């Protein structure tokens, strides 16, 4: 994964699952059939998933981010 990050220039954190839990987000498909579309995930200050979507909706993302940041 380090080589991929260096080659692609990615600067944001990359998470990797070791127990195949990602397949629970692929709507019943097998682990080898991951969607080519990005999965947008916002994790709040408590470590809970506040938003999870394959559709890019800027207004919704902004609303969720602002709401998460406003949490004490």
Q: What is the C-alpha to C-alpha distance for residues 26 and 71, in angstroms, rounded to an integer?
A: 29
User: How high is the pLDDT of residue 31?
Assistant: 46
* Mean per-residue pLDDT, 45-69: 85
What confidence tens digit (pLDDT) does each residue in 1-47 have? 678 778 878 787 777 666 665 555 555 544 455 565 678 888 888 88
pTM above 0.75, yes or no: no
């Amino acid at each position: 994964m380090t080589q991929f990050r260096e080659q692609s220039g990615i600067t944001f954190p990359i998470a990797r699952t070791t127990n195949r839990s990602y397949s629970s987000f692929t709507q019943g498909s097998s682990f080898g059939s991951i969607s080519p579309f990005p999965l947008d995930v916002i994790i709040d200050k408590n470590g809970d998933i506040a938003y999870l979507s394959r559709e890019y909706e800027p207004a919704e993302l902004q609303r969720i981010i602002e709401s998460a940041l406003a949490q004490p």
